[in-house]
């Protein structure tokens, strides 16, 4: 018999269900699985992931620090500063109504007004407002009412405005503090003949140049900062109508009624400062604040003072630094100030060339905070070490309050207007602040001792630079402000040899223009120090041969002619105006900076008309060609570094 077959083999699979714990009672399988997955990655993959995580952590840390600083800055400001609003109408006397008919402009010299004993502007406008003080106040309160409310009749046709504006916040703020013992303005009034028949041929040529430049701005860049005349477009810097504000007092001085009325209407309806934009403290002070203050003084229109006070309040956060040396930039909408992105330094010229404007704003409004802020800066710079016989370095740190980049001295960019404002503050204050005068005199001696040179072959006197004991025969065109400043000081009683130096430097600045093929100065010149055949005194490097339509040469020509009466200075200015017309004028409207002053056939237009061409260059040319010493008398006015005239304070 056969044995019985074996029973079939059975295989069993054992499955253990666990409620979250592994077989060895260790931690959960999910965490063990992630770790195994991490270990299974290659070394390169793990390094990339770690690098990304570190980068994200660093970004988070930096964001936290930035937000913390902004919150700290906001918490430290007062409620008034956090709610910056347009200023209330200032407490100022209304200009008296003229006896002459509104249609006529005074043909002969106007009588000098009586001294004003209340705070406010001298009666500088050539024509009184057409209505009484009450009506004028109502016109100023209504937006756009009376475009000619500055004392000129004839409302201009409304233009299509292209400037962006942000409406101001509603509400009220604390009234202005009443001024006590505020210096009075000079009682001498401006004599500004508005009748074109009183303008000589050369002045009429300046007016024609201004009209051509203004036509291009009006057509292609109205309400924007700068005209690009070649491309017939515009460029923005602050977005505040920079060219328009910079030109207000020029239009008033040149007698351009229609243009001034249109610009005044834009200021009334479109110029608001409650906008999220960074502005440079120095540039916005000399151009916008200075331009508004000057327009107020010349026209007597309270609108400009109200705008000036509002803008001045928005600049004040720049002074909130550990050293009280202001930051270079401030956001006029948020009130957050900061230094440049690449450094914590400010330039010495920028922090010491805002005093004229802030002091005058305090005098007009009675609010001392503006003057106190800038004079604290001036006192601090006066006390610093690191100077060389009155010469100052170019940079100052906003945290430590100390000079940086020691041993480098120049009268060009970043230091130039420090010296100018020493003298002009002394003159503005009625020559009572002897510390300013003494610092200026010491600086002039430092210039003589360390920075003067003589060129070959014409023996031109020039102002060079000193870097760690090494003298460089390099002179910026900006330095051509110095002849006029020296002459101004001599006129106000400083040593007579300052005028001799002014004459010598004026000849040099003229040659910087004359020796170029276009008759226009380069931005930077180098002077030949050695006798060489066929060598010119003025030499130019390729990177420096551009011209930005700068005013410094014609500015000093104005001062030299005003104080000496020598016709050659007028003739030199006329040559420069002819060169501007020949090489920078754009047929469609406007004038353009050029890239090569040594190429008369192709000067290379750079497609930019700086606001200072209208605000300074043409204004100084117009004043240079005038034979009336009382046209903005230099015994009654001091010009800021953007050519905006402000009154000299009479003794208290």
**CATH code assigned at 257:** 1.50.10.10
One of 265, 552, 555, 610 is an active-site residue; which one? Answer: 552
Domain of 250?
203-647
Residues 536-592 have pLDDT tens digits of 999 999 999 999 999 999 999 999 999 999 999 999 999 999 999 999 999 999 999
Nearest to 501 by CA among 542, 451, 466, 549: 451
- Quick one: CA dihedral 417, 419, 422, 425, positive or negative? negative
Residue 7 domain-assigned (yes or no): no
Residues 166-198 have pLDDT tens digits of 333 333 333 333 444 444 444 444 456 556 668
The SS3 assignment for 432 reads coil
Averaged pLDDT of the chain: 82
**pLDDT-derived band at 81, boundaries 50, 70, 90:** very low
Nearest to 378 by CA among 437, 315, 446: 437
Residue 615 gets which letter from DSSP?
I
For position 85, what pLDDT does the model report?
A: 36
Residues 517-547 have pLDDT tens digits of 999 999 999 999 998 887 899 999 999 999 9
Residue 23 domain-assigned (yes or no): no
Residue 4 domain-assigned (yes or no): no
One of 283, 302, 329, 610 is an active-site residue; which one? Answer: 283
State the Cα–Cα distance between residues 405 and 409, nearest whole angstrom: 10
Given a contact cutoff of 8 angstroms between Cβ atoms, the answer to whether 363 and 183 are in contact is: yes
- pLDDT tops 50 at residue 121: no
607 has catalytic annotation: no
Given a contact cutoff of 8 angstroms between Cβ atoms, the answer to whether 595 and 533 are in contact is: no
Residues 376-406 have pLDDT tens digits of 999 999 999 999 999 999 999 999 999 999 9
State the Cα–Cα distance between residues 88 and 168, nearest whole angstrom: 13
- Quick one: CA dihedral 233, 235, 241, 244, positive or negative? negative
For position 71, what pLDDT does the model report?
A: 53
For position 631, what pLDDT does the model report?
A: 96
Residue 171 Cα distances to 14, 90, 518, angstroms = 82, 17, 56
And the tokens for 582? 């020949």
Angle at 633 between CA 632 and CA 638, to 5 degrees: 80
- Work out the average pLDDT over 15-25: 45
For the chain, what is the domain count?
1
Annotated binding site for Ca(2+): 641
For position 44, what pLDDT does the model report?
A: 83
One of 302, 310, 523, 610 is an active-site residue; which one? Answer: 523
Annotated binding site: 641
Residue 105 domain-assigned (yes or no): no
Residue 119 domain-assigned (yes or no): no
Nearest to 73 by CA among 267, 252, 258, 320: 320
- Work out the average pLDDT over 469-483: 98
Given a contact cutoff of 8 angstroms between Cβ atoms, the answer to whether 609 and 216 are in contact is: yes
State the Cα–Cα distance between residues 383 and 387, nearest whole angstrom: 10
Residue 28 domain-assigned (yes or no): no
Residue 191 domain-assigned (yes or no): no
80 has catalytic annotation: no
For position 242, what pLDDT does the model report?
A: 98
Cis peptide before 542 (omega within 30 of 0): no
Residue 190 domain-assigned (yes or no): no
Residue 404 gets which letter from DSSP?
E
Residue 198 gets which letter from DSSP?
G
pTM comes to 0.74
552 has catalytic annotation: yes
Residues 141-166 have pLDDT tens digits of 333 333 333 334 333 333 322 233 33
And the tokens for 365? 């409004």
State the Cα–Cα distance between residues 355 and 380, nearest whole angstrom: 13
Angle at 508 between CA 621 and CA 467, to 5 degrees: 115
For position 40, what pLDDT does the model report?
A: 73
One of 225, 416, 555, 616 is an active-site residue; which one? Answer: 416
The SS3 assignment for 242 reads helix
State the Cα–Cα distance between residues 453 and 444, nearest whole angstrom: 14
350 has catalytic annotation: no
Nearest to 624 by CA among 579, 568, 586, 585: 568
């Amino acid at each position: 018999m056969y044995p019985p077959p074996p029973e079939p083999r059975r295989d069993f699979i054992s499955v253990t269900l666990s409620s979250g714990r592994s077989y060895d009672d260790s931690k959960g399988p999910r965490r063990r699985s992630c770790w195994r997955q991490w270990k299974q990655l290659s070394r390169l993959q793990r390094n990339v992931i770690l690098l990304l995580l570190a980068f994200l952590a660093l970004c988070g840390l930096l964001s936290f620090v930035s937000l913390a600083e902004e919150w700290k800055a906001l918490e430290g400001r007062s409620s008034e500063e956090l709610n910056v609003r347009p200023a209330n109408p200032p407490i100022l006397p209304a200009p008296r109504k003229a006896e002459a008919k509104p249609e006529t402009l005074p043909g002969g010299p106007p009588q000098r007004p009586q001294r004003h004993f209340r705070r406010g502007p001298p009666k500088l406008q050539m024509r009184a407002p057409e209505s009484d003080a009450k009506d004028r106040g109502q016109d100023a309160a209504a937006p756009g009412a009376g475009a000619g409310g500055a004392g000129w009749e004839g409302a201009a046709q409304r233009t299509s405005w292209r400037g962006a504006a942000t409406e101001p916040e509603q509400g009220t703020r604390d009234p202005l503090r009443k001024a006590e013992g505020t210096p009075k303005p000079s009682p001498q009034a401006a004599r500004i003949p508005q009748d074109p028949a009183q303008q000589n041929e050369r002045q009429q040529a300046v007016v024609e140049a201004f009209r051509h430049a203004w036509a291009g701005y009006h057509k292609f860049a109205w309400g924007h900062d700068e005209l690009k005349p070649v491309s017939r477009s515009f460029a923005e810097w602050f977005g505040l109508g920079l060219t328009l504000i910079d030109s207000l007092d020029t239009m008033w001085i040149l007698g351009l009624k229609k243009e001034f009325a249109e610009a005044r209407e834009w200021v009334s309806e479109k110029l608001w400062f409650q906008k999220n934009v960074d502005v440079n403290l120095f540039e916005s002070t000399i151009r916008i604040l200075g331009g508004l203050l000057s327009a107020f003084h010349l026209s007597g229109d309270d609108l400009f003072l109200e705008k000036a006070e509002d803008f001045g309040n928005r600049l004040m956060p720049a002074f909130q630094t550990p050293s009280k040396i202001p930051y270079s930039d401030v956001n006029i909408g948020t009130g957050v100030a900061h230094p440049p992105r690449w450094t914590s330094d400010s330039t010495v010229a920028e922090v010491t060339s805002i005093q004229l404007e802030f002091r005058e704003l305090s005098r007009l409004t009675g609010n001392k905070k503006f003057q106190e802020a800038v004079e604290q800066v001036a006192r601090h710079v006066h006390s610093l070490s690191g100077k060389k016989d009155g010469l100052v370095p170019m940079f100052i740190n906003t945290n430590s309050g100390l000079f940086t980049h020691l041993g480098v001295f120049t009268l060009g960019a970043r230091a130039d207007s420090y010296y100018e404002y020493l003298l002009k503050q002394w003159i503005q204050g009625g020559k009572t602040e002897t510390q300013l005068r003494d610092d200026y005199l010491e600086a002039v001696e430092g210039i003589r001792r360390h920075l003067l040179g003589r060129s070959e072959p014409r023996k031109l006197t020039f102002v060079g630079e000193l870097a760690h004991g090494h003298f460089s025969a390099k002179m910026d065109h900006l330095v051509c402000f110095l002849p006029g400043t020296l002459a101004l000081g001599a006129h106000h009683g400083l040593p007579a040899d300052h005028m001799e130096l002014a004459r010598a430097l004026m000849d040099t600045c003229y040659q910087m223009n004359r020796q170029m093929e276009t008759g226009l100065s380069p931005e930077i010149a180098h002077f030949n120090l050695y006798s060489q055949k066929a060598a010119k005194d003025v030499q130019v490097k390729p990177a420096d041969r551009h011209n930005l339509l700068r005013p410094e040469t014609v500015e000093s020509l104005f001062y030299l002619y005003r104080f000496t009466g020598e016709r050659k200075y007028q003739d030199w200015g006329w040559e420069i105006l002819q060169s501007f017309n020949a090489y920078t004028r754009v047929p469609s409207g406007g004038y353009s900076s050029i890239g090569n002053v040594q190429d008369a056939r192709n000067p290379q237009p750079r497609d930019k008309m700086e606001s200072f061409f209208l605000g300074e260059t043409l204004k100084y040319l117009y004043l240079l060609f005038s034979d009336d010493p009382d046209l903005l008398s230099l015994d009654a006015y001091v010009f800021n570094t953007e050519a905006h005239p402000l009154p000299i304070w009479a003794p208290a």
